[in-house]
Amino acid sequence: MKAIVVTDPAAGTAGMKLVDRPESKAAINDVVVEVYAAGFVNTELEWPSTWADRAFRERTPSILGHELAGVVTALGYGTTGLSIGQRVVGLSDWHRDGTLAEYVAMEARNLAPLPGDVDFTVGASLPISGLTAWQGLFQHGRLQAGQSVLAHGAAGAVGSIVTQLAREAGAYVIGTGRAADRQRALDFGAHEFIELGSDRLEDVGGVDLVFDVIGGDIQKRSARLVRAGGTLVTVVGPTDVRPADGRTIDFVVEADRVQLSEIVQRVRDGRLRTNIGKVSSLDDAIATFRSTERRTGKTVIRVRP
Ligand SMILES: NC(=O)c1ccc[n+]([C@@H]2O[C@H](COP(=O)([O-])OP(=O)(O)OC[C@H]3O[C@@H](n4cnc5c(N)ncnc54)[C@H](OP(=O)(O)O)[C@@H]3O)[C@@H](O)[C@H]2O)c1
């Protein structure tokens, strides 16, 4: 099968190669999925799991990509809940070979059914951004109707879903980003927009929840805006930054079939709009990843035409 692999942590996107690899085999509780479309997060080359297995042993050459939409082609021993020929969407294990390939073996529990009226490209754009937004807002941030959310990077892949889900849940949403992102963030449902380059973040006043996708100084300044009892949720890694009288949660998104099905259902209902940036073929994927052109939204690789 064709797959995009990396072998050298220092090489960046220059180290990506489209190669032929043996087809993935289903282990116990796995399914093999024929990948139709796969999402890609460009920070993946910085994640330790791209380079090592759970015992910190080098696992290169590693196949990149961890979200997909496709069709089940084989079941491993003991696998239940999915069947051959079923359309699925899901988040694959960070430490195993990924989804930028024609086939991937992954645990069945990491997949949800993908209804026939949801396109594979749309499906592949949802698992990481959708589950990150869902878990950050509701599981870790314990968002309640009537609260306020500062949604950083509100035109980006995660931030646009944070903005929409928070708004749907009855929160007041302040989106942030670059000047060019203002209208997109408002279109995704932000009540107001702060341009981080020119507006004063401090003018926001207090918020109940900060959803941080940026880190650094923006994260520090945002923590000061968290009201008593509120939460700073961050997805850019562990941090010592704490609100004066609130919690900080940093987390890595986890696969969850029920939550992913809720997200897919919202897309079908028209309650949630996915945010797809660039779409390209597997043959053109590496050129797309290397491009320095500014992209907003999720990059999706259409593995099968
Ligand atoms: N922990 C987890 O489980 C998890 C899950 C998903 C994502 N993440 C992380 O979350 C981050 C965002 O992911 P994503 O897929 O949403 O990326 P994305 O689509 O690039 O969205 C980020 C948005 O924030 C904007 N932004 C970044 N820095 C900014 C700044 N200083 N001022 C104004 N706007 C700024 C970006 O604009 P520009 O493109 O112009 O910079 C972009 O619109 C990444 O670091 C990713 O690794 C973590």
Contacts of 68 (CB under 8 A, 6+ apart): 33, 35, 36, 37, 38, 39, 89, 90, 92, 99, 104, 124, 127
pLDDT score of 27 more than 90 = yes
- Both 109 and 136 in a single domain? no
Q: What CA–CA distance (Å, rounded) separates 176 from 235?
A: 16
- Position 292 scores a pLDDT of 86
- Both 227 and 143 in a single domain? yes
Q: If you measure from the C-alpha of residue 153 to the centroid of ligand 1, how many angstroms do you get, rounded to a whole number?
A: 6
277-301: pLDDT as tens digits: 999 999 999 999 999 888 889 999 9
- Position 296 scores a pLDDT of 86
Does residue 265 form part of some domain?
Answer: no
Q: If you measure from the C-alpha of residue 155 to the centroid of ligand 1, how many angstroms do you get, rounded to a whole number?
A: 9
- Both 6 and 120 in a single domain? yes
- Position 293 scores a pLDDT of 86
- Mean model confidence pLDDT for the chain: 97
Instruction: Please report which confidence band the pLDDT of residue 35 belongs to, taking 50, 70 and 90 as the band edges.
Output: very high
185-234: pLDDT as tens digits: 999 999 999 999 999 999 998 999 999 999 999 999 999 999 999 999 99
CATH number of the domain encompassing residue 244: 3.40.50.720
Q: If you measure from the C-alpha of residue 297 to the centroid of ligand 1, how many angstroms do you get, rounded to a whole number?
A: 9
Q: What CA–CA distance (Å, rounded) separates 8 from 16?
A: 9
Ligand 1 nearest-atom number relative to CA 216: 31
The reply to whether ligand 1 has any atom less than 6 angstroms from the CB of 214 is: yes
71-86: pLDDT as tens digits: 999 999 999 999 999 9
- Both 119 and 212 in a single domain? no
Range of the domain at 167: 129-250
Contacts of 56 (CB under 8 A, 6+ apart): none
- Both 143 and 217 in a single domain? yes
Q: If you measure from the C-alpha of residue 246 to the centroid of ligand 1, how many angstroms do you get, rounded to a whole number?
A: 23
Does residue 50 form part of some domain?
Answer: yes
CATH number of the domain encompassing residue 29: 3.90.180.10
Ligand 1 nearest-atom number relative to CA 235: 1
- Position 104 scores a pLDDT of 98
Does residue 257 form part of some domain?
Answer: no
9-21: pLDDT as tens digits: 999 999 999 999 9
Within 13 Å and on the Cβ side, how many CA atoms surround 23? 11
The reply to whether ligand 1 has any atom less than 6 angstroms from the CB of 132 is: yes
pTM summary value: 0.98
The reply to whether ligand 1 has any atom less than 6 angstroms from the CB of 236 is: yes
Among candidate residues 210, 234, 250, the one where a domain is terminated: 250
Residue 166: enclosing H or E segment and its boundaries? helix 157-168
- Both 196 and 289 in a single domain? no
Does residue 270 form part of some domain?
Answer: no
- Position 294 scores a pLDDT of 84
Does residue 261 form part of some domain?
Answer: no
